[in-house]
Amino acid sequence: MNHPVVRWLDGLYLACIWISGIALAVMCLVIPLGVFARYVFGFGAQWPEPIAILMMVVFTFFGAAAAYRAGAHIAVGMLTDRLPRVPQRICAGFVHAAMLAVSLFVLVYGMKLVLGTMGQTISELPWLPVGITYLALPLGSLVTLLFVLEHIAFGSQHERAVCTFDHETTVAEAPL
Which phi and psi angles does 127 have, rounded to 5°? -85, -10
State the Cα–Cα distance between residues 51 and 5, nearest whole angstrom.
34
**Which pLDDT score, from 0 to 100, does residue 116 have?**
95
pLDDT tens digits along 105-162? 999 999 999 999 999 998 888 898 999 999 999 999 999 999 999 999 888 887 777 7
**Which pLDDT score, from 0 to 100, does residue 47 have?**
87
pLDDT level of residue 51 (50, 70, 90 thresholds): very high
Per the document, the length of the chain is: 176
State the Cα–Cα distance between residues 103 and 121, nearest whole angstrom.
27
Instruction: Kindly report the average pLDDT of the chain as a whole number.
Output: 88
pLDDT level of residue 166 (50, 70, 90 thresholds): low
- Report the relative pairing of strands 121-122 and 125-129 from DSSP bridges: antiparallel
pTM value is 0.84
The answer, yes or no, to whether residue 102 has pLDDT greater than 90, is yes
